[in-house]
Homo-oligomer: A and B are copies of this chain.
Amino acid sequence: MKPLLMINFKTYEAGTGENALRIAKIADEVAHEMGINMAIAVQSVDIMRISHEVDIPVFSQHMDPIGFGSHTGWVLPQGLKEAGASGTLLNHSEHQLDISEIEKCIDITNRIGLKTVACASDPKIAEALSVLGPDYIAVEPPELISGNISISEARPEIITNTINLVKDIDRSIPVLVGAGVKTRSDVSKAIELGADGVLLASGVMKAKKPRAAILELSKGLK
């Protein structure tokens, strides 16, 4: 797999509504220009419009383990699929799930054709989640999320440990790493350590110049 740059828009102001559309288009353009593998995870209200306007895969930030029926206000997998989502983050540290919910979500996405990025806060949880067969594992130490020091700088051993443990369970699962990733060298170092990609948010969402930020991060991927 070509390394992946995945941008989580969270509920940042820059990642909401018209702003989200604008950054999504920038990401799409940079992905084409640079010939790199990019994906974005946006708020559910924004999935439909953005997925119609960009080529790169658009993910949901969350999904609930439900089917059609009486589930007022929950995030329906089929609804994401119809809206044009390619997949979803699962168990982000800001939105965790019971382990049986994660399993149900993965079962559902396999059936209806969505990809899953199961998020883990440390290597052991990454290993445990890889047992459940998600399409990607992303490891993000919560204490570094939104911070100024990247996982690549501060905790490179988390990257290598996660990769080792996950690949031991299932070689085919790509491992993304994240938390504090902001610079080209944060990205390139992660890739050098064996990561299959990076998952990041504030590095783009809080950047004064999102295009410059995405471009810079993309260069680290090559």
- Is A207 interfacial (CB 8 A cutoff)? no
Q: How far is the CA of A73 from the CA of B201 in the complex (A)?
A: 13
How many copies of this chain are found per oligomer? 4
Q: How far is it, in angstroms, between the C-alpha of A82 and the C-alpha of B73 when the chains are bound?
A: 18
Q: Once bound together, how far apart are the Cα atoms of A79 and B46, in whole Å?
A: 8
In the bound complex, do residue B99 and residue A102 qualify as a contact, i.e. CB atoms below 8 Å apart? Answer: yes
Asked if residues B16 and A78 are in contact (CB atoms below 8 Å), the reply is yes
Interface residues contributed by chain A, number (CB under 8 Å)? 64
B74 contacts A11, C-beta separation under 8 Å: yes
* A184 at the binding interface (Cβ < 8 Å): no
Say how far A149's CB is from chain B's closest CB, in angstroms.
17
Q: Please give the residue numbers on chain A whose beta carbons come within 8 Å of chain B beta carbons, in ascending order.
A: 8, 10-13, 16-18, 41, 43-49, 60-62, 66-76, 78-80, 82-83, 89, 91-103, 120-122, 124-125, 127-129, 131-133, 145-146, 201-202
